[in-house]
């Protein structure tokens, strides 16, 4: 059986997603990833929330007004345009937000039940994402909701709720 290069397969999937092809497409893709990485690297450890927001917007992350993003926030490095953050949102340090999941380099698993998942992540107006939370592909955080420290968010969070734990579960409705 011929061995397939998983890295080439991942690159092919990304090229297809970005609608690029050929050698010129590969070059354009590399420059796009370099831009994303540079902007992310500049934002990642900056203590200035305004600078972080500016750099993340330059990557294509949609960010509303009056948002505070702390240092050490990881916003998807490959699909930043699929992240949407509303107005008056606070994001604490060490939060990770992923618009994709590529769960395995094992092609047998990848081709059966664990393929790459790519889906938008939306954080609605007034939400607070506390330090260490992880938001996964396809989730939506409801307006004025609070995601507690260290939550693993795998499903949508309703509006005006406090979620806690891993997996995140609603523990309180905000009145």
Tell me the C-alpha distance between 62 and 72, whole Å: 18
The answer to whether residue 131 sits within a structural domain is yes
Given this model, what pLDDT does residue 175 score? 85
Range of the domain at 16: 6-173
3-state class (DSSP) for residue 100: strand
Omega of the bond leading into 133 within 30 degrees of 0 (cis): no
Is 154 contained in some domain? yes
DSSP 78: S
Looking from the CA of 16 toward its CB, the CA atoms found within 13 Å total 8
* 33 within a domain of the structure (yes/no): yes
Question: Which class for 33: exposed (0-12), middle (13-18), buried (19 or more C-beta within 10 A)?
Answer: middle
Number of domains the chain is built from:
1
Which CATH number characterizes residue 27's domain? 2.160.10.10
The tens-digit pLDDT sequence of the chain (175 residues) is 456 677 787 788 888 989 999 999 999 999 999 999 999 999 999 999 999 999 999 999 999 999 999 999 999 999 999 999 999 999 999 999 999 987 666 777 777 777 778 999 999 999 999 999 999 999 999 999 999 999 999 999 999 999 999 999 999 999 8
Nearest to 123 by CA among 114, 133, 113, 115: 133
Burial annotation 133-165 (CB, 10 A radius, 16+ → b, else e): bbbbbbbbbbbebbbbeebbbeeebebbbbbbe
Q: Output the pLDDT for position 1.
A: 43
Identify whether 56 is part of a domain. yes
Flag whether 1 is in a domain: no
Tokens standing for 2? 């011929």
- Whether residue 103 is contained in a domain is answered as yes
Would you tell me how many other CB atoms lie within 10 Å of the CB of residue 128?
A: 19
What pLDDT is stored for residue 120 in this prediction?
98
Asked if residue 80 is part of any domain, the answer here is yes
Give the residue from 85, 51, 83 showing the smallest Cα distance to 65.
Answer: 85
Block residue for tokens 């579960």: 169
Q: Looking up tokens 């990848």, which residue turns up? A: 110
């Amino acid at each position: 059986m011929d061995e397939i290069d998983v890295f080439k397969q991942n690159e092919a999937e990304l090229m297809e997603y970005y609608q690029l092809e050929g050698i010129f497409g590969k070059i354009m893709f590399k420059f796009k990833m370099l831009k994303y990485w540079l902007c992310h690297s500049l934002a990642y450890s900056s203590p200035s929330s305004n600078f972080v927001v500016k750099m993340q917007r330059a990557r294509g992350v949609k960010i509303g007004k009056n948002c505070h993003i702390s240092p050490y926030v990881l916003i998807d490095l490959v699909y930043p345009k699929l992240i949407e953050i509303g107005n008056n949102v606070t994001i604490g340090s060490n939060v990770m937000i992923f618009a994709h999941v590529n769960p395995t380099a094992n092609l047998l698993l990848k081709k059966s039940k664990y393929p790459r998942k790519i889906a938008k992540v939306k954080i609605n107006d007034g939400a607070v994402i506390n330090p260490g939370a992880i938001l996964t592909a396809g989730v939506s955080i409801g307006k004025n909701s609070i995601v507690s420290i260290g939550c693993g968010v795998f499903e949508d969070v309703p509006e005006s709720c406090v979620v806690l734990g891993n997996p995140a579960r609603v523990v309180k409705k905000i009145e």
